[in-house]
Structure 1
Amino acid sequence: MFYKDKGTKVGLIVTMSPDETWPDSFVNSVKSYLPKAKQSLEMVGMKVFDCGKIARTNKEMAYQGEILRREGIHVLVIHVGTWTYSSTSVLASFNANVPVIVWANSNVETFGIVGGSIVRGALDEVGIKNYLVYGGFEDRRVLDKLKILCSGIAGATKLRGMVYGEGGSRCMGMYTSRIDPTEWMSRFGIDVDGFEQVEIIKRAEKYSDNEAKRLLYWMRNEFGGVEVRDDVMIAQIKLYMALREVIKEKGYDFISVKCLPELPSCYTTFCVAHSLLNDTSDDGFGEHCSFVAACEADANGALTMQILNNITGGTTMFTDVLYYDYEDNMIRMCNCGSQPTDFARSRKDVVWVTEGLREFDWVIGGACPRYVGKPGKLTIARLSRVNREYVMLITTGESLDMPLNKINETNSQQPHVFARLDCSQENFLNTLRANHIHVVLGDFKKELITACEVLDIKPVVP
């Protein structure tokens, strides 16, 4: 499960009307659009599938839609070269069974907007999600829009067929973390499965200390330091290995684990496991995956992270909104230790320290990756429900370069990201509906909005 291909698969069909009265020169012009459209989509990072020739008739369009569906595409691009019968595109789209980008060619000689606009309208008529793009193969504006739309649509459609594993039950009374498994299947195509934390502990206890010490040795060389007692690190690493085992055995695509409040008093916490699973950097087993793992059995948090991961292919953060500095319009984001280390400047800036959340009794203690997040653009998001209807908070901000001693003002053990938001304090607070929030590096606001549109989730942009 950890070596999953995270690329976006785009199906491409180039079409025009089936009329036999077209001059050969006109038909040949449209045929030339297929390799050009494919190259353009590949230029923006898409993995493109096509059937090698244009499609014009009902039969041809239906066939190509079916073939592309079998390739497991996440989005269909129908490039309309000129006038076309929109009914043919409807057949292709039904068979492809994914949202559609109608790309109307802007060559003045073939007037693709005429065919593109009617295809777009026909798809709206029959309830197929679609977007209209108009422009040339080398137009930077068009390429940027195609990249945003393909990535955003795939952020939604990649959810289909996924299996979410949840360890434990509701954590500390959090309504905002709970979901209806039937709704997830009918709405997102996600199967919700469960496993027990005691199973992870039993599996962890079967690993030898020497097996765990090998990973501990790797951590001492990989990170800036490990200040935690060996017995605590060995217990944390055993939980990590056991959780990996369950993920692979059960075929999970993303997970969450309850952990608190019972694990500190009977074993230790999952902080090492969650931090390394979420990293795109080496996970200690030579894999570079960024496997979404959320804390505190927060299903809505895990789903937010998975959508972000589907879009970016990279590391997603699970964290708390810990404090709001009104004067600087800055939020401090910090969590009990599960934050991925990819948000640090380097792993040498990460020191594993003893976790000691004051509200829990610890049988041996925990471990926490202490660091301050590196500066750069951030996208911040969170799924919530308002009277049973899903909404997603979406905003951007800038991670600030702060000295390590700044974390002493809040919690000296835990990793922090300090971010100045691109929205006002009041607007952000008016849309905040959970303690947990989720972060990726870079600006993916438009892609997230597109994903929300596909999933019929209301995007809330403060």
Structure 2
Amino acid sequence: MEEKMKVKLTVGVVVTGSEALKSEKGANIYEYMVDKISSLGVEVVGFDKPISQGAGVSKQASLFFSKNNVDLLLVIEGTWTYDNLLIDVTKFLNCPIIFWATPETFNVPFPQTCTLVGITQTCGTLVKMDKKIKVILDDIYREEGFNKFKNYIHILSIIKKLQFTNIGLIGGSRCPGMLDTSFHELELRKQIGPEVIYVPSSDLLSEINSITDAQAEKVQKELIPDDQIENVEKDIMLQSMKIYIATKKLVEDYELDAVGYKCWPDLRHANICSPCFTLSKLSDEGIPCACEGDTMGAVSMYILQLLTGRNVYLGDFLKADTKTNEAQYFHCGAASSNLAKDKKEIIYRKNAQYSDYDWIDGLIVDFPLKPGRITFARIGEIKSKYRMVVYTGEATETDMFVRGNPARVKLDSSAEDVVNGLIQNGSGHHQIAVHGDILDNLKLFCEFLNLDLAVL
């Protein structure tokens, strides 16, 4: 299989520099910043002439950046210049524009560069032209300011990567009785970017049937410590390993980045056990998986993983205490093992949840969610418009009040407000969460992608 295409962000760089002010300072800053940004693994296209009086240079810059299809334009405010020139430069761009100005010191008789005058004048004008503007006010040589710029690049790189993302829907549709996991496929491509790849259940079953017991036993020995297995019959263990091997091959064959998995009723009808272990292990390996054919759950998990570099939790909102604002969540046992406080305490056992459904109990990964700050975020759609719904809390220690992957969270908002907010925003029943407080980055993500954001 060919290596998957690597997506790079293209960053344009230009500096303003008026002949009437200290334009040579802007030139020095330009050279420094081009070298600095190049170290971030992005493609840098710099326009090396300062934007100053006269429209000739600004129109050249306009064509230059348009031709190079920049995903982000950095305007270094070396000195004040005419705002109409920056309208020229950005005329054909539909990407975010970051203005970076070094504040001048107090107690100087007259500003040497007038950078603050320049950005308030120019940026306000460009906002009226419907341009997406962000401003950094910091010394260009300070790491704190550059870290803020790096974060913008990080988020925009994720947005660009989403345009080339494949979300697999194994089983080809949602599970019955779960209309809340429905989605608008064309609007998903248009508004966010991912393509949904439909993988029929017949492909999965064919792959499962092609795997030998010997292959399955080998994988079991490689992946699961014997002393953490509890009461799992050999045929269940082997079948669970075969599902994992088969699904991993489909992920590779279809070049999938994340998976929505229609686990039932197809596998039940084929006399195949529940695939919870497979979803857990693939998530360990960087392929987030949402069960019950939840495509937008998979999209949300993938975005949170890209933003944080951490594994993501999926669970049902099971109980809420409106007096203490605590909530309990759970799912069947398909969470990444990296979400356990101590991997040595994980138990690999049969899924007892489905005994009443006439379905073979598959292998699950049994542990509670580890404690820590946590952010819930899910993307969904109402009337063809996608939005993100976010709330936060503190995951706390919990006992195994149910088999699978229980979680207990002290919500930052009232439990009643969270429940009502989820309902009013049409959020699905699967709650998607990642450790850490990433609200600020989610706000930037939604702003850059033009998504509505509801913070509960």
TM-score range, shorter chain: 0.7 to 0.9
Contact 1:16 1:84 in 2 (8 A): yes
Compare 130-139 and 266-275 and name the one that shifted more.
Answer: 130-139
Residue 450 of structure 1 corresponds to 444
Residue 297 of structure 1 corresponds to 293
Residue 237 of structure 2 corresponds to 233
2:246 is the alignment partner of 1:219 = no
Match of 1:407 among 400, 404, 425: 400
Specify whether residues 54 and 379 from structure 1 end up closer, same or farther in structure 2 by C-alpha distance, changes over 3 A only.
farther
Matches within 5 A, 1:287-326: 290-326=286-322
2:132 is the alignment partner of 1:129 = yes
Task: Give 1:219 shift.
Answer: 2.0
Residue 412 of structure 2 corresponds to 422
Specify whether residues 220 and 310 from structure 1 end up closer, same or farther in structure 2 by C-alpha distance, changes over 3 A only.
closer
Specify whether residues 256 and 113 from structure 1 end up closer, same or farther in structure 2 by C-alpha distance, changes over 3 A only.
same
Structure 1 length as normaliser, TM-score?
0.83
Task: Give 1:248 shift.
Answer: 1.8
SS at match of 1:291: coil
- Count of aligned pairs: 437
Rounded Cα–Cα distance in structure 2 between residues aligned with 1:144 and 1:115: 23
Task: Give 1:320 shift.
Answer: 1.4
Larger Rg: 2
Task: Give 1:161 shift.
Answer: 2.4
Contact 2:321 2:327 in 1 (8 A): yes
Q: Alpha carbon RMSD of aligned pairs, Å? A: 3.2
Compare 163-172 and 175-184 and name the one that shifted more.
Answer: 163-172
Task: Give 1:141 shift.
Answer: 6.3
Matches within 5 A, 1:31-430: 31-34=27-30, 36-37=32-33, 46-51=40-45, 54-56=48-50, 57-58=57-58, 59-60=60-61, 62-64=63-65, 66-67=67-68, 69=70, 75-84=72-81, 86=83, 89=86, 98-108=95-105, 109-137=112-140, 142-143=145-146, 145-167=148-170, 168-221=172-225, 224-225=228-229, 227-265=231-269, 266-279=271-284, 283=285, 290-358=286-354, 360-362=356-358, 364-402=360-398, 406-408=399-401, 411=402, 413-430=403-420
Query: Taking every aligned residue pair, what percent have the same amino acid on both sides?
Result: 23
Rounded Cα–Cα distance in structure 2 between residues aligned with 1:66 and 1:318: 43
Structure 2: give runs of 5+ residues left out of the alignment: 51-56, 106-111
Rounded Cα–Cα distance in structure 1 between residues aligned with 2:350 and 2:103: 61
Task: Give 1:311 shift.
Answer: 1.5
Deviation string, structure 1 residues 87-137 (Cα, Å, up to 9, x no partner) = 665566577753232223324532323333344345434433332222223
Counterpart residue identity of residue 299, structure 2: L
Rounded Cα–Cα distance in structure 1 between residues aligned with 2:3 and 2:206: 26
Task: Give 1:422 shift.
Answer: 1.5
Residue 440 of structure 1 corresponds to 434
Specify whether residues 247 and 354 from structure 1 end up closer, same or farther in structure 2 by C-alpha distance, changes over 3 A only.
same
Contact 1:161 1:191 in 2 (8 A): yes
Structure 2 length as normaliser, TM-score?
0.84
Specify whether residues 216 and 127 from structure 1 end up closer, same or farther in structure 2 by C-alpha distance, changes over 3 A only.
same
Contact 1:86 1:122 in 2 (8 A): yes
Specify whether residues 209 and 358 from structure 1 end up closer, same or farther in structure 2 by C-alpha distance, changes over 3 A only.
closer
Task: Give 1:164 shift.
Answer: 2.1
Counterpart residue identity of residue 15, structure 1: V
Deviation string, structure 1 residues 331-367 (Cα, Å, up to 9, x no partner) = 2221112211111123222211110224754554211
Contact 2:263 2:291 in 1 (8 A): yes
Deviation string, structure 1 residues 47-93 (Cα, Å, up to 9, x no partner) = 45434674433324542564474xxx5x4433222224556655665
Rounded Cα–Cα distance in structure 2 between residues aligned with 1:352 and 1:36: 54
Specify whether residues 225 and 14 from structure 1 end up closer, same or farther in structure 2 by C-alpha distance, changes over 3 A only.
farther
Counterpart residue identity of residue 438, structure 1: I
